[in-house]
Structure 1
Amino acid sequence: MLVHRRRFLEGIGLLALAAGVGMPLARLVGFSPDFVSSAAAQTADAAKLTAPAASPLPVKSLGDPKAPVTIIEYASMTCSHCAHFATTTFPTLKTKYIDTGKVYYVLREFPFDPVSTAAFMLARCVPDDKYFPMVDTLFETQSAWAFSQNPAAGLLTVAKQAGLSEADFEKCLSDRALAEKVQASAQYGNKELGVDSTPTFFINGKKVPGAITVADLDKELEPLLKGK
């Protein structure tokens, strides 16, 4: 029932709905915002960036894996800076660089709170071809669910728009294994790559934190694409 979902998402961060697991998120998956270290690596080894251990979930990407530039973004669904990038800069990144074969883009989960974890879980529960449209919608409507008094209701609305039923919604957010895998992406990003804020980008291995603008993006990519 909706009250149960609201308690899950707004209260102490319970993770399972239908299963009724009354365990705080941090205990359930071994993660909380307090774990984040202040690692300050400015570059990351390519092997670490692309290692299978980076995420136990299937890669979510756009573009040609053989493109001259690879951009890996670590984001949180409740991060307003991530939403700003997604709605203002990402459309240009996609049309100017991804769709033209110049950039291969990978999105990885870095949730700081149970609401963000739930949003990422829902994106993972829709068909593969709806993943990025779902992410786009979640960022576009972030203010309507992420910071509301009832984020569960807002997330359910988005889920239904993506074709999930209320039963699908309950089942998805009750999947402890999926939640642990979403959290594993954040744990790896912090411990192995020095991610300590969102959004954080790795552009051909260079760490670039913050919601970069179109001008910033062009500045970063132009030297890497000379002659391409």
Structure 2
Amino acid sequence: MPTSASPTRKLAAVGAVIALVVAVLAIAIAVGQAVESGRDDGTGAPRAATSGQSSEDAGRQKMYDDLTKRTTRREDGDALALGKKDAPVVLVEYADYQCSFCGSFTRKTQPELVEKYVDAGTLRIEFRNFPVKGADSERAARASWAAGRQGKFWQLHDELYAKTRKGDELAEDKLVGMARESGVPDIEKFRKDMKSEAAERAVERDQEEGYQLGVQATPSFLINGRPISGAQQAEVFQQTIEDAAAAARSSAKQNEGAGK
């Protein structure tokens, strides 16, 4: 029999639903605007939709493409990313290290996505530190960035999410211990980097990106602009990745044909 969710867990779930509704509404508005703009080219005649697409589908894809351009970085040497820089699909995750749902995604779903899509070159994962639970979350976010400075971001990331950690479990000495366990070679550099202005700026950059997008709960994801809120079943992520990959292939073929 399922265990009743704690009040905190219920609030987190409600927040995830609200965030999903906001994202869906934003897409619906953008699709509507794109469709309206596509109906008239100034001559009084409706524009033709892309071959094989309705106006609604074309508008929705435009929204996804715009969000993809706004959120994917594809930076060389990005320590907070997994996968090929030119992978056709990019999953962007906004997460907090005190978030139990974020940990569930990391432990249960992400390994399947890495094996099936990242290793195959289809998917790139870009992590964004989005601490919403106060100073302990912010400290952990800076620690993960500091580990990345020594090539150990994902090792510390996975250790932080190995179980749900709250409050004092993310104190500086505990984070240093986890960094050692994660193989961070220079602990003094790790301490210095964790407290640096550069770490603070990096976390603020991720936060600002999330706030501008309207992210309200963790984890929140964009897969080539397609929003997913909460630690959904692996099948939800897989289907969204497949859809995004198919759209990317179609766009590549159209661009290839246009260039001939």
Q: Fold-level match, TM-score > 0.5?
A: yes
- What are the ranges of 5 or more consecutive residues in structure 1 without an aligned counterpart? 1-37
Q: For 2:153 and 2:188, how far apart are their aligned partners in 1?
A: 19
Q: For 2:201 and 2:85, how far apart are their aligned partners in 1?
A: 27
What one-letter code is carried by the residue in structure 1 that aligns with 2:217?
S
Aligned to 2:70: 48
Superposition deviation, residue 168 in structure 1: 3.9
Question: Looking at both structures, which has the greater relative contact order when contacts are Cα pairs under 8 Å and sequence separation is at least 6?
Answer: 1
Aligned to 2:154: 132
Cα separation, partners in 2 of 1:203 and 1:147, compared to 1, 3 Å? same
Aligned-pair identity in percent equals 27
1:77-116 alignment, distance < 5 Å: 77-112=97-132, 113-116=134-137
Aligned to 2:235: 215
What one-letter code is carried by the residue in structure 2 that aligns with 1:99?
D
Superposition deviation, residue 164 in structure 1: 5.5
Cα separation, partners in 2 of 1:184 and 1:217, compared to 1, 3 Å? same
Using structure 1 for the length normalisation, give the TM-score: 0.69
Aligned to 1:201: 221
Q: For 2:169 and 2:109, how far apart are their aligned partners in 1?
A: 29
| C-alpha RMSD of the superposition | 3.0
Aligned to 1:64: 84
Using structure 2 for the length normalisation, give the TM-score: 0.62
- What are the ranges of 5 or more consecutive residues in structure 2 without an aligned counterpart? 1-18, 28-62, 250-260
Cα separation, partners in 2 of 1:48 and 1:121, compared to 1, 3 Å? same
Bigger Rg, which one: 2
Cα separation, partners in 2 of 1:90 and 1:50, compared to 1, 3 Å? closer
Query: Equivalent of 2:176, from 135, 140, 156?
Result: 156
Superposition deviation, residue 172 in structure 1: 3.0
Aligned residues: 186
Q: Is the 8 A contact 2:113 2:238 kept in 1?
A: no
Q: CA offsets per residue over residues 101-146 of structure 1, 9 Å max, x none? A: 1111111111112212211212222244311111111111443xx3
Q: For 1:80 and 1:163, how far apart are their aligned partners in 2?
A: 24
Q: For 1:214 and 1:201, how far apart are their aligned partners in 2?
A: 13
Aligned to 2:201: 180
What one-letter code is carried by the residue in structure 2 that aligns with 1:171?
K
